[in-house]
Amino acid sequence: MGRNLAVIALKSELAVQLARRGRTEAVERMVEVQRIAQESQREVREVREVVRGYRKADLQAELSGARSILRAAGVDCRIEGEEGTRLPPEMESALGWVVREGTTNVLRHAADVRRCAVRTHIDPDRSVLVMTMENDGVTDPAAAGTGSLPGSGLKGLRERLHPLGGTLTSGLITKGSFRLTVELPVGAAGI
């Protein structure tokens, strides 16, 4: 993209000079500028599609990946609840990101992790989907943190959940055990 912009700048400058001298080659240069600009626009659209796809996370794929990665690391990983529940795509994606970030945090911050459980259930009294991700093995409570530092993954998750009316809480629950809890309203989603 940077190269294309540099070429556009140079060729359009050349076209201006040629036009000022009354040279017909100016039209040819501007046609080249137009072609390069259109090519650049196509590239931008392609990049947007890639980024848009990257911003989405498939919940089932993330759950499967979490189980696989954690088991490969020697962690007993259990995933329970609400199989077959159809969620709106934006909720699926948000929960997929929670699983992805939660799995990363388990591996990064729980040096002695042996067990991890991801549980999902719908609380019909409150019309809320609740997902918890719980693990043991936290040897440094300060490292586990609460996601309050700027740029932290948990802060980013809160920002993803907010437009959906969701909340995220996290913290130590017992010595060495950590819980991440997400609550998303489901009444409006028709679930």
Enter the tokens of residue 74. Answer: 């020697």
The hierarchical CATH code for the domain 59-185 is: 3.30.565.10
Rounded to two decimals, what is the model's pTM?
Answer: 0.67
The angle that helices 89-109 and 59-72 make with each other, rounded to 10 degrees, is 20
Stretch 149-159: mean pLDDT: 75
pLDDT tens readout for residues 9-57: 888 988 999 999 999 999 998 999 998 899 888 888 777 665 555 557 7
Q: Which residue has the tokens 């909340």?
A: 167
Residue 122, CA distances (Å) to 9, 16, 64, 85, 139 in order? 57, 66, 20, 10, 32
Put the strands of the sheet holding 177-185 in their side by side order. 76-80, 115-123, 128-135, 177-185, 167-174
pLDDT tens readout for residues 130-151: 999 999 998 876 655 544 444 4
pLDDT tens readout for residues 88-130: 999 999 999 999 999 999 988 888 999 999 999 999 999 999 9
Strands 167-174 and 177-185: antiparallel
Residue 191 pLDDT level (bands cut at 50, 70, 90):
low
Q: Which amino acid appears at position 133 of this protein? A: M
Contact 183, 164 (CB under 8 A): no
